[in-house]
Amino acid sequence: MQLFIDSAEISEIKKAAETSLCDGVTTNPTLAAKAGRDYNDILKEICSIIKGPVSAETVSPDADGMVKEGIAFSKIAKNIVVKVPMTVEGMKACQQLTKKGIRVNVTLVFSANQALLAAKSGAFLVSPFVGRLDDIGKVGMDVVRDIKQVYDNYKLTTQILVASVRNPIHILEAAKIGADIATVPYSVFEQLFKHSLTDAGIKKFLEDWEKVPKKK
Ligand code: G3P
């Protein structure tokens, strides 16, 4: 399973890239607002660090506007993927951008039916938001499981990108289902490396190493 970083913070993206375990980046208007810089500048810088897909989100309400924004984003770098929302206009934009050879990530997906429409519209990626479903008392991962089954049934090639990830359990569940990608906040990415027994084990080995006789 590929791991993307869900962030517009260059320092986080650089740290993730240094591990060579970050396969791509997703951004959205909320993350861009947090970063507090021009969105195009942020995207350009991210694309210079990460060679994998970098998602840039459109904000126009209509398909024409989304297509215009998408074409402009696609000129920033080859690895840009254009994010459009799961709406009727979003699907029209997805179809048009895909026809132009621009890859699309359909975002704000909360059901397998929406994911089916995204795949039929030629989406490169589909983003089910698991955390936001959990927040309203639904099981977000059930939607991912349904999408996987539907896509497998019809050999649909749209990749499932599990988004709105809040913890390492989400990532494990996504991997067990066979999702293609999980996009994770940097804090969750860091958590993946950690285990208290690993820390305790290192501490003990270092203490014992001190007791090993060394030649002068
Ligand atoms: O990029 C979209 C997504 O991952 C949003 O996450 O935590 O705002 O629900 P969150």
* 34 vs 14: CA distance, rounded Å: 17
Ligand 1, CB within 6 Å, residue ranges: 6, 26, 28, 129, 131-132, 163-164, 183
Indicate if the alpha-carbon torsion angle 79, 83, 88, 93 is positive or negative.
negative
Angle at 165 between CA 163 and CA 171, to 5 degrees: 100
Span 160-186, pLDDT tens digits: 999 999 999 999 999 999 999 999 999
Residue nearest to atom 6 of ligand 1 (CA): 164
* 69 vs 111: CA distance, rounded Å: 26
Helix (H, G, I), strand (E, B), or coil: what is residue 192? helix
* 137 vs 115: CA distance, rounded Å: 20
Ligand 1 atom nearest residue 27's Cα? 1
Contact 190, 167 (CB under 8 A): no
Residue 216 pLDDT exceeds 90: no
| Amino acid code (one letter) for 109 | V
CATH superfamily of domain region 2-204: Aldolase class I (3.20.20.70)
Domain boundaries of the chain, sorted by first residue? 2-204
Ligand 1 pocket mutation pick from 5, 6, 58, 110 by most atoms within 8 angstroms of CB: 6
Does the global pTM surpass 0.85?
A: yes
Residue nearest to atom 5 of ligand 1 (CA): 164
**Ligand 1 centre distance from Cα of residue 54 (Å):** 15
138 tagged catalytic: no
- Report residue 210 as tokens: 């001190």
Average pLDDT over residues 81-106: 98
Span 25-42, pLDDT tens digits: 999 999 999 999 999 999
